[in-house]
Structure 1
Amino acid sequence: MAAQAQDITGDVDAGKSKAEMCIGCHSIPGYQNSFPEIHKVPKISGQSEKFIATSLAAYKKGDRKHPTMRGIAGSLTDQDMADLAAFYASHADKTAAEAPRAASVEVAALIEKGACASCHGANFSKPIDPSYPKLGGQHADYLFVALKSYTVQGNNFVGRSNGIMAGIASQFSPAEMRALAKYLSTVEGELKVVPQSRFK
C-alpha cells in the first residue's frame, strides 16, 4: 500500500502545494509538540523521499502511533505521500561530512552496543536503506521521544511497531537514550527546517 512500494513518482511542485497541512509544525524553527511529552517536531527537510513516504504510510496504517499524524496521514493518498516526500527531500542542499564529530567514550560504547552506524551510516546521514532515517543533526528531544516510543507496548496512542528498533531501544535506559540523542543532535547532518513564506 505504501507509495514507494508502488513506484509512484512524487512531484515537487505538487508536494509544495500539498504541504499547507505540514508547514504549521515542520516549517517553524523551534516549534514544539506537547504529545506525548514536550519536544521539538522533527526536521524533515533533507530526509530521503523513501523515508518520508514510508513514515507517512506507517502513520496511516497505525504502525507509528501519534493522533495528529495519524489523522493527517489518514487523509493522504499514496500519490499525496509521494509528492510530499519529493518536496521535503528536495530541500537537501548539503552533504554531511564523511566522519562525524567524535563521541565521548560512554556514548561511543552505546553506539557500538546499538550498532547504530550499521544501519544509519558511519556519519548518521547515509543510511544503508533510504527508508531508514538520517539522524545527524536531528533535534535531541525528538530523538529521545522517538527512541522511547519503540519500547512502548499496548498503548493505542503512543508507540512504534518495528521489531528491529524495539530490540535495540530496549537495551538502553532513558538516561542512555538521552545521551545518544544529545550526541546525534550535535553531529553535522543534512536535515534542517525550511520556513515557508508565512513563517519567515
Structure 2
Amino acid sequence: MKKTLSPMFAALTLAAAGVLPAQAQGVTGDANAGAGKIAMCIGCHGIQGYKSSFPEVYRVPKISGQNAKYITLVLEGYKKGDRKHPSMRGIAATLTEQDIADVAAYYEQNGQGQMAVALPAPAAANAQVAQLLQKGACVSCHGDNFSKPIDPGYPKIAGQYPDYLFASLKAYKDNANHTWGRSNPVMAGMAKQFSNAELKAMSDYIGSLDGELKTVPQSRFR
C-alpha cells in the first residue's frame, strides 16, 4: 500500500492545520497529577468492554497507551463543541487546560508494561478492504500497521474496538449532527467517500490488528 498522501488528502490535511485545537502553550502534563483527576473517566474507560448506549450501542474506546497529544486534542474538541457527544462535552467542560494535559499524560503511560488483551489472529485484508484503505489514505496519517501515527496528534487505531471505530467514522460523516457529529475536515472528507457498509468493513479489519491500546481495569472507588 502506498504511504504517500493523495492530492485531495494532502489539501485537506493542510486545511485542517489551522482549525484543529492546539495544545495550550506552556502547559506540561504530569501523569502523577493526572492519576488523581480521572474519577470521571474510570467509570467507562476503566471497565473492560464497557458499552455506551448513545447514539447507538458500542464499546467505549481503549485509551490507555494512546498518544497524549491526541487525547489533549480530543478533550479540547469536546470542550469547544467540535465533538458533540453530550456526556463527553459535560466532562470536558469541567477540566482546565492543566487538567486536560495531566489526564492525557496519565493515559499515555497507563498500563505500560502490561500486555494488551489478546485479539484473534487478524485476517488478511481482502482485496476490497485493501482498496478501501488505500482510497482513504488511512496509513498516510495513522502510520505503519495503523499504530505508528506520523504525528502524535493523530490516534493509534490498530486494535481499537471495531464498533467504536465504526461509530466514530459515522460521526465524522454526519459531522453536522448536533448531538453526535464531529467537526474535522480531514476525517469528514475521508468518511464521506464511503458507504456505512464500507466503513464497517474497514473498522472490522483495523480493529482486528495487534496494537498498543488497552483498557486497564480500575476500581470505581478511589
Please say whether Structure 1 and Structure 2 have the same fold, judged by a TM-score greater than 0.5: yes
Range 150-159 or range 109-118, more displaced: 150-159
Q: Which residue of 1 aligns with 2:145?
A: 123
SS of the aligned residue for 1:64 comes to coil
Q: Which residue of 1 aligns with 2:100?
A: 81
Matched, 1:40 2:59: yes
Structure 2: 5+ residue stretches without partners: 1-19, 117-121
Q: Within 2, Cα distance between the matches of 1:92 and 1:138?
A: 15
Q: CA deviation at 1:198?
A: 4.6
Q: 1:44 to 1:34 in 2, by over 3 A?
A: same
Quick one: which amino acid aligns to residue 56 of structure 1?
L
Structure 1: 5+ residue stretches without partners: none
Tell me the percent identity: 60
List structure 1 segments (4+ residues) > 4 angstroms apart after TM superposition: none
Q: Within 1, Cα distance between the matches of 2:26 and 2:164?
A: 30
Q: Which residue of 2 aligns with 1:196?
A: 218
Q: 1:7 to 1:107 in 2, by over 3 A?
A: farther
Provide TM-score, normalisation by structure 1.
0.92
- Give the alignment's Cα RMSD to 1 decimal: 2.0
Q: Within 1, Cα distance between the matches of 2:198 and 2:21?
A: 33
Q: CA deviation at 1:102?
A: 3.4
Q: Within 2, Cα distance between the matches of 1:198 and 1:22?
A: 9
Counterparts of 1:1-200 in structure 2, within 5 Å, are 4-91=23-110, 93=112, 102-198=124-220
Q: State the number of aligned residues.
A: 196
Provide TM-score, normalisation by structure 2.
0.83
